[in-house]
Structure 1
Amino acid sequence: MNDNNFPKLHNATWPGLVGKGENSEPPISFDDMLNMTAAAEVDGVKFDGIDIGLMPPHFDVDTMTDDDIKRLADKVASKNLNIGSMVAPIWGGPAMGSKDDRAMFVNMVRRSCEIGQRLRELGVRPYGVIRIDSASSPQEWEKDPVGNSKLIVETFQQACDVAADFGERLAAEGEICWGGMHSWRVMVETLEAVDRQNMGFQADMAHTLLYLMGYNHPEDRILPENFDWNDRATFTEALKTLTRALRPWTIDFHVAQNDGTVFGSGSHDKTGRHCQATDPNGKLDIVTDAGLWLRDENGELTKAFKHICWDGCMFPNAVMTNQQTWNDILATMIKVRQRHGWHQQEEVAAGTV
């Protein structure tokens, strides 16, 4: 065990919601996700915090009062945890939808930023971003790529301008199920067109793996068809191509595993399958491959964000309510920090990432 204390290690609470309900298993409560995170421990090391999804039934941003936000801050702090990045509940208004849709999208970003700012003031959120996606499907985007991308960019620009008023940065999630974000090349084009200093990319190792394979956008495939997963050299070069394009934009990062397939449950469309940290079918060497996101092309640490998060959505509830699951995840996160972390004084300026 070394003395690296950054990046901070977070668990996500939204896996208790994503893919749950609606012909699937029931959601897992926020309190249960929080308690399992707080209980995880490996050789005396514990999680430093949580990233949260501001979505029902965990939260309702339309009805959250200042007292509710204070209670949330107190509850998390009582577990010796911080709050980092937060997911804005923008799915009621697609970013490439009607004028009213896009106004709803921006309003959900505004409300999320208000909550995020208040949590910073309360001292429980010293770092992190607001995460968004396009709330639009690749299939709808493909009907008019130019026009739909223009609408997404305009909506993201408006959202960025709102976020800037609260000192927040927005991270666009790289996931194959979101239109205008379903290909690594299209994702870069979207980020470049938004052209806002507080706009960045949120890389999830499980989702970005699917970029290599061209799911939902075969013309941008990087790995050859019928790729042999035993060919580690070719895989590494493909991953270097991907990270070279997206790493400069990355301001939020999820450690995760994927077996090279897609999966969806509940109302969630098919996307990169999150696997357990110990899954023998996982295609990623999690610790090594995380370094391609956390280090630049010269092997130097970028230190582009103060925390990293584990994301494991759409696991069965029996897996998610097993404490050993979270201990195994924490053990993997610790290895990532040992290999690609650093040590610095604990004082972190509020609102930094």
Structure 2
Amino acid sequence: MPITDNNNTLTNPRNNYPKLHNAAWPGMVGKGPDTEACIPLETMVQLTANAQVNGIGFDGMDITLHLPHFDIDGGPEALNRLVDLFQSHELAIGSLVAPIWKETGGGSAMGTTKERQRFLDQVEKTCALGQALRESGLRPYGVVRIDSADNPANWNTDPVTHTRLIADTFRKAAQIGAQYGERIAAEGEICWAGMHGWKTMTHLLELIDHPNIGFQADMAHTLLYLLGYNKDDERILPKNFDWNDRATLEKGLQSVSAALRPYTIDFHVAQNDGTVFGAGSHDKTGKHCLATDPNGKLNITTDAGYWLRDSNGKLTKNFKHICWDGCMFPNETLLQPQTWNDILAAMLQVREQHGWVETT
């Protein structure tokens, strides 16, 4: 086991995989005119590059491809600026979030024919960019992330039809991804239609039935699956659950991860306090907490193992990198260097417990 002290130093690090990534989107998610300004991509990259724990830094970042961070319709100039930015900070790019929402030029995955086509057009643009980034040498791993771009309330008006439409749209997205050598990952989160419960998410993946699409697990969001937010009939933990009952919590985590781990091709390390939160235009979802939050309900290092190891405790090695996700924090918090040092320390703990060594 690694050892940390109050200065977040890590002694005797052993593993160099999975690679450790920060996320760029906390600088945008939940921001806007009615909250506070977005943090520029350049600033998020600089904060990531500056983070260090005992001489170890982040290996790269996962990014989202919409303004103000990136113009997916910006052509070669936008691509070149992106490559130059990351190369200048010696950071890799990993997974890409496709801008599939109405607000960013896409449309609902269960919507009209035109809406679904706009969704797929945005997926194709993202996959083409992902291929170009791989060819540049800047992106050695990672997936293209999507969600249904709609909400559970709309899904509830006709669950069967809407699930079928989402599955069809996602299957077509997987086929597009395959043309560009990209894998597609569907994000499990309680605010997305047809993906808002763990059994519902599993059923959707089974219905899609395509080898080029999988699941993106986020520890904060999958914890909320256990509480049945937006899908009470799939609740595992009882109402008014006593969070000191670690044994029952572990059984719940085992149930959800056992169902979804076989599909998992992208993974977010995160913390959650068992509540929901929304900011700006973002619907309420699992509240991300800081890595050091005393109200966090997860043991980050231990509970990451439910997604990184199989039911027999063997490492799955289903992905080459893992990413921290923590959204809807105040800019004052996000702009503090210590925030990212603490997060990096948590990520290093996960890698030491559940990582491996590869020679390059």
Calculate the TM-score normalised by the size of structure 2.
0.95
1:72 aligns with 2:91: no
Report deviation, 1:45.
0.5
Report the Cα offset of residue 226 of structure 1: 1.5
The code of the aligned residue for 1:160 comes to: A
Q: CA deviation at 1:3?
A: 2.2
Q: 1:339 & 1:175 partners in 2: Cα distance?
A: 26
Separation in 2, partners of 1:107, 1:270: 27
Q: What's the CA shift string for 1:65-96, capped at 9, x where partnerless?
A: 12321221121012111000010000010000
More moved, 286-295 vs 67-76 = 67-76
1:333 aligned to which of 347, 353, 357: 347
1:135 alignment partner in structure 2: 149
Match of 1:29 among 40, 43, 48: 40
- The answer to whether residue 74 in structure 2 is matched with residue 60 in structure 1 is no
Amino acid at match of 1:180: G
2:133 equivalent in structure 1:
119
Letter in 2 for 1:58: H
Deviation at 1:166, TM superposition (A): 0.2
> Shift in Å at residue 57 of structure 1?
0.6
% of aligned pairs identical?
61
- Are 2:71 and 2:78, in contact at CA under 8 Å, matched by a contact in 1? no
Is 1:3 aligned to 2:11, yes or no?
A: no
Q: What pairs up with 1:211-250 in 2 under 5 angstroms?
A: 211-250=225-264
Alpha-carbon deviations, 1:276-307, whole Å to 9, x = none?
00000000000000011100011000000000
Q: Tell me the amino acid that sits aligned with residue 260 of structure 2.
A: L
Give the aligned partner of residue 292 of structure 2: 278
Which residue in 2 is equivalent to 1:47?
Answer: 58
Contact 2:92 2:139 in 1 (8 A): yes
Q: What is the CA-CA distance between 1:224 and the residue it aligns to?
A: 1.5
Residue 351 (structure 1) aligns with: none
Asked if 1:14 corresponds to 2:25, the answer is yes
Residues in 2 aligned to 1:280 and 1:102: alpha-carbon distance in whole angstroms: 42
Taking the TM superposition and a 5 Å limit, the aligned residue runs for 1:162-173 are 162-173=176-187
Task: Give TM-score scaled by structure 1 length.
Answer: 0.97
For residues 220-271 of structure 1, the C-alpha deviation after alignment (integer angstroms, 9 at most, x for no partner) is 0011222100000000011000100000000000000000000000000000
The equivalent residue for 1:150 is 164
- Secondary structure class of the residue paired with 2:319: coil
1:194 to 195, 203, 208: 208
What is the CA RMSD across the aligned residues, in angstroms?
0.7
What is the CA–CA distance in structure 2 between the aligned matches of 1:279 and 1:38, rounded to whole Å? 23
Q: Which amino acid aligns with 1:168?
A: E
Give ranges in structure 1 of 5+ residues lacking alignment. Answer: 347-353
Aligned length: 345
Match of 1:178 in 2: 192
Q: Quick check: 1:70–1:122 contact (8 Å CA) kept in 2?
A: no
- Where does structure 1 differ by over 6 angstroms across 4 or more consecutive aligned residues? none
Alpha-carbon separation, structure 2, partners of 1:139 and 1:71: 40
Q: Equivalents in 1 of 2:349, 2:127: separation in Å?
A: 32
Amino acid at match of 2:117: A
Q: Distance in 2 between matches of 1:329 and 1:245?
A: 28
Query: Residue 108 of structure 1 is aligned with which of 122, 135, 158?
Result: 122
Compute the displacement of 1:107 (Å): 0.3
Deviation at 1:272, TM superposition (A): 0.3
Give the secondary-structure state (helix, strand or coil) at the position aligned to 1:251. Answer: strand
Query: Equivalent residue of 2:273, what SS?
Result: coil
Asked if 2 retains the 8 angstrom alpha-carbon contact of 1:254 and 1:311, the reply is: yes
Please report how far the alpha carbon of residue 111 of structure 1 lies from its aligned counterpart in structure 2 after TM superposition.
0.1
